[in-house]
Amino acid sequence: MMRSDKSRNREHIIQHYDLLIEENNDPVHDPEPLKEYMDQWDGQAFIDRMQLDGTQSVLEIGVGTGRLAVRIVPLCGLFCGIDISPKTIYRTKENLKKSKNTALLCGDFLDYDFGCRFDVIYSSLTFMHIADKHKQKAVIRIADWIKPSGWSCDIRASEEGLPNHPVFCCIILQRGFYVHFRTS
């Protein structure tokens, strides 16, 4: 039977990130200059934007080894992270093993049934793996996993930052269906 483009793409992503772990590539343990470099995309301003007060439930899509999660977990009530790469999520569990309020899941977020909703959902440097034509649909799907509380829709973008723009990479969804993303 012919494999679909979707399943081929998924296998490539898993292979890529599993191999990075085999090479011991773990951004949680990057040296300081590299961490500062990454802060260009999703540094303190990105984290502040989530307005976390220690009580919210938070989902990170494409959690990786936990580069952002290690900073977010202490700020929320419950942290859930999902990643498609089994070796990556194994490493994430190691990196976050001291945290009690975490659930780390291995799977494709596009197919996953979380069985609950979250106060805040964010994702960084993961949407580039979704074909441009599917990005908008993915954002709408994620929006369904936000707790309802009188939603309005407000999708904001920097000048060229439409959800189907190729460099669209960082996103936060939270109360009020606020979508924030930036382009590099």
Ligand X SMILES: C[S@@+](CC[C@H](N)C(=O)[O-])C[C@H]1O[C@@H](n2cnc3c(N)ncnc32)[C@H](O)[C@@H]1O
Binding site for ligand X (CB under 6 A): 13, 17, 27, 62-64, 67-68, 82-85, 88, 108-110, 124-126, 129
Give min distance, CB of 16 to ligand X, in A: 8
Q: Are strands 178-182 and 170-174 parallel, antiparallel or unpaired?
A: antiparallel
DSSP string, 82-121: EES-HHHHHHHHHHTTT-SSEEEEES-TTT---SS-BSEE
Look-up: residue for tokens 């011991």?
Answer: 24
| Rounded Cα gap, residues 58 and 50, in angstroms | 9
Instruction: State in angstroms the smallest separation of the CB of 62 from ligand X.
Output: 3
**Between 138 and 179, CB nearer to ligand X:** 138
Closer to ligand X by CB, 108 or 165: give it.
108
Q: Given the complex with ligand X, which of 48 and 154 has the nearer CB atom?
A: 48
Alpha helices, DSSP H, located in 31-171:
32-42, 44-48, 69-72, 86-95, 132-143
Cα of 164 vs its chain's centroid, Å: 17
Residue nearest to ligand X (CB): 64
